[in-house]
Amino acid sequence: MDLLNALVALSNFVLVPAIAYGAQLALGALGVTLIYGILRFSNFAHGDTMAFGTMATILVTWWFQSMGIGFGPLPTALLALPFGILACVLLLIGTDRAVYRFYRAQKAKPVILVIVSIGVMFIMNGLVRFIIGPGDQRFADGERFIVTARDFQAMTGLDEGLALKTTQGITVVTAVIVVAALFWFLNRTRTGKSMRAYSDNEDLALLSGIDPERVVLITWLIVGALATVAGVLYGLDKSFKPFTYFQLLLPVFASAIVGGLGNPLGAIAGGFIIAFSEVTITYAWKKVLGYSLPESLEPSGLVQLLSTDYKFAVSFVILLIVLLFRPTGLFRGKSV
Amino acid sequence: MIGNLRTFLLFAAVACLLVLTGEMQSWSTALLIFNMGLISAIMSLGVNLQWGFAGLFNIGVMGFVALGGLATVLVSMPPTTDAWAAGGAQVLLGLLTGAAVIVAAALALRHLPKSRLRGATVLAILVGGFFLYRWVFDPGVDAVEAVNPAGTGYLGGLGLPVLFAWPMGGVLAAGAAWIIGKAALGLRSDYLAIATLGIAEIILAVMKNEDWLSRGVKNVNGIPRPVPNEIDLQNDAGFVATAQGIGLDPVTASSLYIKLSYSILFAVVLVVLLVLAQLALKSPWGRMMRAIRDNEVAAEAMGKDVTARHLQVFILGSAVCGVAGAMMTTLDGQLIPTSYQPLRFTFLIWVMVIVGGSGNNLGAVLGGFVIWFLWVQVEPIGLWLMQMITAPLSEDSALRAHLIESAAHMRLLTMGLILLLVLRFSPRGLIPEK
Amino acid sequence: MSEPFLIGDAMTGGYGRGPDILHACTVAVERGEIAVIVGPNGAGKSTAMKAIFGMLDLHEGQVRLDGDDITGLSPQARVKKGMGFVPQNHNIFTSLTVEENLEMGAFIREDDISGTMAQVYDLFPILREKRRQAAGELSGGQRQQVAVGRALMTRPKVLMLDEPTAGVSPIVMDELFDRIIEVARTGLPVLMVEQNARQALEIADKGYVLVQGRNAHTGTGKELLADAEVRRSFLGG
Ligand SMILES: Nc1ncnc2c1ncn2[C@@H]1O[C@H](COP(=O)(O)OP(=O)(O)O)[C@@H](O)[C@H]1O
Ligand SMILES: [Mg+2]
């Protein structure tokens, strides 16, 4: 038995990746949940919104790289991020003006808006593939690791190494900053409070003189920023591929629903719940168990509950369980 | 009356488009489009049953279509006797174990008194059962997959005529729909949507990973056909003579003959399903369905069992998609799990229903043909457009190369645009519900 | 006859394209007075309030505030003109804290709102105590205080209350009536709908009895309380 090595292996293969993935999902789910809270529909174009913002960031990154601009040990994409956000926000606001506003004025049923968002999803998906192509893009540069497994082994003298990728570090730091800023905005500023008020009770917000169009505009602004940050962090950590981003829709929605649609705190909790479940259930536990169990009990197989291809099944099953036993999510969401 | 004329004219226009394709491109292309149009129309009918009749928001169409494809393999491929001998029984036993575990958990959930102990028991049954299931199942799978992995490596099918696969596809899809419906109908519409989206991904994950069942990403090729082979026709003296009699070379003639045979088979299925759907729509059952759709609360207050009705229509619609999926795999002659993409097999079908006119069966069929036609033809048109636009750019311009290369993605843009335009300016579709 | 401060004059109209609910209905409140609308359930009391606040279209009739015709203004514009409204239902932001509710009430104000907030807290001391709590967690009476407080935050020139005592215990109700009188004493005209007709008419300067969208009886509170028919039909004898 060697619990210390077990803990390091667990951190290396489960905890650290799940925290990074959870942060990415949480940022994605925050966007979904804000749209649901303010505009009152489930936006199926959110995965492709993330893809668009990331694509714009990648293009600017390439441009910076071609001009020899870098960010030292950090990825150049972080410098390009504001430009990606800008492009994404412009696209979203344009879409709102051209598409969603009409249905808002009509007071269309939420399900109609969902179908409309499917049309938007097609267009954004096509746009992204048209501009950057359907292939895989890796755009992370700079230092790859904060701590490599070998350094860690050398430092601690343990058999197991704990690698910490730069992208994982950046993901967590960025996510913390973004979430803190968002909650500060929503809870401390007048505009943020008016958004919460509008989400809570639209009619009363109107009676209080809150301008719905302004609330909607600011929502898209925030959503564009959140989606781009989430997408870029995910892309840095793994890679960018339009179809993968479309598929992120499922875990992102699962996070938002599990936490309670419309509830920002819930979106964050949901993101981590989904990420940890996915990673733990699809991880091969042989190594960790090997360290932590007495020799006689050491497992012979991989001890992988499900192959990684079934990771969608995990988010899905958690989603169903939560919906069946607590239909408004863990943190009381709202229903339109 | 005006409505009928409009319907007639719209269908005539589609026919004209196909004839035009035949004349300008080739009859082979036109028939290909027509055949997939027939299949698309059937899928669209299935989704229309769910959405148009009952307002159920199913975006897991791809999963049911893929199940139909799986049914084709399970019914028509020859059984792999060696694999059955090596581990077939064990695999079946494993599946039975899995089913028994779930039943046991469900029974415990239902019959034990509600308490913390019940939760713990159910959890224990599920977790313990999972390991038991894997313990029985895994060796069987390994044994099956070890048998000639390059050629088979799976259990094969029943070796029955492939036409049996079509109803079987429906049955398989209906079974899946029953399970999903039991769990997820009654949820709010956007929750149901996410649930169905998830189920479709899971079905695909199973088909890509469970090699013993479907060969996974190794694909299943050479699925038997319900029509003759082109080569056999070309070697048939009588056929060659007839072909030359009408002025066609045997190769073209055989290809057209085969495609036409498929067309007839598919058209028969479409007509049967369409007639059934129309009868259902006009029946008291259909009227009740629409009453529920228009005002669920009132219908429930009048004593209608809304969830049970929804379950029925959800199963029926999914079954129709399953049949269409089986037909499509039959036409392709192969099962390629990686070729199932939600944009193509779920959302495109939705565009068909909305554009055609949700709630109207003829509309759904029309939408199937129109959208499929556009889906195929937008690519060459886009390419042509790009070549026109980029003509002033120099031959080796990178931008030009990129634009021409990207023309293929115009499809998605176009479909999104069509969907949005129809929703905005003609929300009830080309042939509105009466 | 002098013009009342706020008057919905001979209003006729209904919701959307539905049937008319109000038929030449008139309600008004004078400066510094309390006017009360009573009547059976479904009589159109809430509808009359919404009509005055511009939340439904009138086919006929006018709404005038301080002599100006405001019939065409949106509800938000009426808020800016100095009208405060507490609707019957959903009249607080349940997920916001009490203080945030008050802040949102003052959303259109650009100046310092701390003075007004202090006044509201003085009027409803319990709210000061609970100012960091989510309004949805409060008791029924406290929620109504939040609702009234929210409407007062704009420093309105006229306050409209739709059943401010709905669903609260009799003791709390008396307390709420006292507060409303206190508000009216500061010179703020109050137009309110009340289920508890007798008590409401007792504090009313002017009373309106609505039946099926029409004015059935109109008079001072005392006149209506003394009117035999009103007593028989609406006050239980
Ligand atoms: N939002 C609405 N849309 C359509 N009709 C309504 C609406 N609200 C109320 N009504 C109808 O208007 C009538 C008067 O209702 P209301 O003004 O709420 O009565 P009161 O407040 O006097 O109890 C009722 O017949 C009610 O059904
Ligand atoms: Mg009322």
Residue ranges of chain A whose CB lies within 8 Å of a chain C CB: 190, 193-194, 196-197, 200-201, 203-211
Comparing alpha-carbon positions, the chain A residue that sits nearest to C78 is: A207
User: In which residue are the tokens 């759904």 written?
Assistant: B364
| Ligand 2 centroid – CA C24 distance (Å) | 18
Q: Which region holds residue B49: left if phi is over 0, alpha if psi is between -120 and 50, else beta?
A: alpha
In the predicted model, is pLDDT for residue B417 greater than 90?
yes
C-beta atoms surrounding A60 within 10 Å: 20
HEC string for A214-236:
HHHHHHHHHHHHHHHHHHHHHHH
**pLDDT at site B21:** 93
The closest-lying atom of ligand 1 relative to the alpha carbon of residue C45 is: 22
How long, in residues, is chain A?
Answer: 336
Q: Chains near A, with 3+ CB pairs < 8 A?
A: B, C
Under the banding of pLDDT at 50, 70 and 90, the label for residue B298 is confident
Q: Which atom of ligand 1 is nearest to the CA of C43?
A: 22
Ligand 1 atom at minimal distance to the Cα of residue C88 = 21
Task: Tell me, yes or no, whether A189 lies in a domain.
Answer: yes
Residues 6+ apart with CB under 8 A from C12: C20, C22, C23, C24, C25, C58, C59, C60, C61
Report chain A (336 residues): mean pLDDT per 10 consecutive residues: 84 94 97 95 96 98 93 93 98 97 92 94 95 92 88 87 92 96 96 95 91 95 98 96 94 93 93 94 85 78 81 85 82 66
**pLDDT recorded at residue B250:** 87
CA of C158 to the centre of ligand 2 (A): 19
**B-proximal residues of A, 59-98, CB under 8 Å:** none
Short-list C132, C146, C48, CA closest to A204: C146
Is A120 within a domain?
Answer: yes
Query: Is residue C236 classed as helix, strand or coil in its secondary structure?
Result: coil
Give residues with Cβ within 8 angstroms of C148, minimum separation 6.
C86, C124, C159, C161, C164, C179, C180, C183
Indicate the helix (H) or strand (E) that contains C232: helix C228-234
* Number of domain units in chain A: 1
Q: Which domain holds residue A183?
A: 23-249
Q: Whose CA is nearest to atom 16 of ligand 1?
A: C44
A130 compared with B401, residue with greater pLDDT: A130
Q: Is residue A300 part of a domain?
A: no
* Contacts by residues B272-280 (CB-CB < 8 Å, ≥ 24 positions apart): B273/B42, B273/B45, B273/B320, B273/B323, B274/B45, B274/B361, B274/B362, B274/B365, B277/B45, B277/B48, B277/B49, B277/B361, B278/B361, B280/B49, B280/B53
Say if the Cβ atoms of A201 and C75 lie within 8 Å.
no
The rounded Å distance from CA C230 to ligand 2 centre is 19
Cβ–ligand 1 distance for C41 under 6 Å, the answer yes
Ligand that lies nearest to the alpha carbon of residue C21, given by its number in the listed order: 1
Encode A116-180 in three state secondary structure. HHHHHHHHHHHHHHHHHCCCCECCCCCCCEEECHHHHHHHHCCCCCCCEEHHHHHHHHHHHHHHH
* CA angle (B378, B380, B386) in 5-degree steps: 95
Grouping H, G, I as helix, E, B as strand and the rest as coil, residue A201 is: coil
* Cα A14 from Cα A281, distance rounded (Å): 10
Using CA atoms, how far apart are residues B288 and B275, in angstroms rounded to an integer? 19
Q: How many Cβ atoms are within 10 Å of A97's Cβ, its own excluded?
A: 12
Average pLDDT rounded to a whole number, residues B37-54: 96
Q: Residue B172: which pLDDT band, with cuts at 50, 70 and 90?
A: very high
Handedness of CA B298, B302, B304, B307 (dihedral sign): positive
**What own/partner pairs with CB < 8 Å and gap ≥ 24 does B389-393 have?**
none
Q: How far apart are the CA of C46 and the centre of ligand 2, in A? A: 4
DSSP string, A66-82: HTT--BTTB-THHHHHH
Contact in structure between C38 and C209 (CB atoms under 8 Å): yes
Q: B31 is written with which tokens?
A: 């028939």
| Chain A hits for C104, Cβ within 8 Å | 193-194, 197, 205, 208, 210
Q: What is the rounded average pLDDT of the residues B393-413?
A: 83
B193-205: pLDDT as tens digits: 888 998 899 999 9
Asked if residue A243 lies in contact with residue A51, where contact means CB atoms within 8 angstroms, the answer is no
- Residue C1: per-residue pLDDT: 52
CA-nearest residue of chain A to B182?
Answer: A324
Q: Are A125 and B197 a contacting pair at CB < 8 A?
A: no
Residue numbers in C near A207 (CB within 8 A): 53, 75-76, 79, 85, 87
Q: Per the CB < 8 Å rule, is C107 touching A204? A: no
pLDDT at A233: 97
What is the spatial distance between Cα B305 and Cα B372, in angstroms, rounded to a whole number? 37
Q: Look at residue A67 and tell me if it is in a domain.
A: yes
Q: Is the pLDDT of residue B207 over 80?
A: yes
Greater pLDDT, B44 or A161 = B44
Q: Among candidates B322, B362, B378, which has minimal Cα distance to B345? A: B322
Domain layout of chain B by residue ranges: 2-79+156-425, 80-155
Q: Which residues of chain C does A197 touch, with a Cβ-Cβ cutoff of 8 Å?
A: 93, 96, 100, 104, 107
CA distance A29 to A249: 9
B164 — pLDDT class (breaks 50, 70, 90): very high
Of B201, B341, B424, the CB nearest to A102: B424
Half-sphere exposure of C25 (CA within 13 A, CB side): 31
Is A208–C105 a contact, with Cβ atoms under 8 angstroms apart? Answer: yes
Of the pLDDT bands very low, low, confident and very high (cuts 50, 70, 90), residue B187 is confident
Whether the Cβ atoms of residue A54 and residue A232 lie closer than 8 Å to each other = yes
Residue A68 in contact with residue A135, Cβ under 8 Å?
no
Ligand 1 and C50: CB distance under 6 A: no
CB contact under 8 A, A115 and B415: no
**CB pairs under 8 A, 24+ apart, for B105-112?**
B105/B129
Gap between the Cα atoms of A219 and A34, Å rounded: 7
Report the alpha-carbon distance of residue A178 to residue A233 in Å, rounded: 12
With CB atoms and an 8 Å threshold, state whether A129 touches B202. no
Domain contains A31: yes
Percent of chain A as helix, strand, coil, to the nearest 5: 75, 5, 25
How far, in Å, from the CA of C38 to the mean position of ligand 2? 10
How far apart CA B210 and CA B203 sit, in angstroms, is: 10
A near B: at least 3 beta-carbon pairs less than 8 Å apart: yes
Contact residues, chain A, for B52 at CB < 8 Å: none
Q: How far apart are CA A192 and CA A188, in angstroms?
A: 7
From residue B189, how far is each of A102, B360, C215 by CA, in Å?
22, 21, 45
The token pair at B195 is 């649930």
Please say whether the beta carbons of C154 and C108 come within 8 A.
yes
Sign of CA dihedral A99, A100, A105, A106: positive
**Sites in chain C below the pLDDT cut of 70:** 1, 237
Residue A96 is given by DSSP the state I
Average of pLDDT values for B54-80? 95
Atom of ligand 1 nearest to the CA of C210: 22
> With an 8 Å Cβ cutoff, are C87 and A204 in contact?
yes
* Position B277 pLDDT exceeds 90: yes
Could you tell me which residues are beta bridge partners of residue C193? Answer: C37, C162
Rounded CA separation C208/C74 (Å):
25
Entry pTM: 0.91
Q: Which residues of A fall within a CB distance of 8 Å from B416?
A: 119-126
Residue B1 banded pLDDT, cuts 50, 70, 90: low
Query: Is the shortest distance between the CB of C19 and ligand 1 below 6 Å?
Result: no
**A94 phi/psi in degrees, rounded to 5:** -60, -45
Task: Give yes or no for residue C21 CB within 6 A of ligand 1.
Answer: yes
pLDDT per residue over B346-367, tens digit each? 999 999 999 999 999 999 999 9
Task: Give A334 to chain C, closest Cα distance, Å.
Answer: 11
Strand, coil or helix: C87: coil
Q: Which ligand ends up closest to the CA of C45? A: 1
Chain segment C26-56, per-residue pLDDT in tens: 999 999 999 999 999 999 999 999 999 999 8
Minimal Cβ distance to C93: which of A201, A206, A209: A201
Q: Identify the DSSP state of C94.
A: T
Taking an 8 Å cut-off on Cβ atoms, the answer to whether B416 and A316 are in contact is no
Is A203 within 8 Å of C90 when comparing Cβ atoms? Answer: yes
In a domain, A277, yes or no: no
Select the more confidently predicted residue: B255 or A325.
B255
Asked if residue A42 lies in contact with residue B190, where contact means CB atoms within 8 angstroms, the answer is yes
pLDDT confidence of residue B2: 64
Q: Could you tell me the two tokens for B430? A: 């080309």
Top-tier CATH class for B2-79+156-425: mainly alpha
User: What ipTM was assigned to the predicted interfaces of this complex?
Assistant: 0.92
Q: Band of the pLDDT at B91, cuts 50, 70, 90?
A: very high
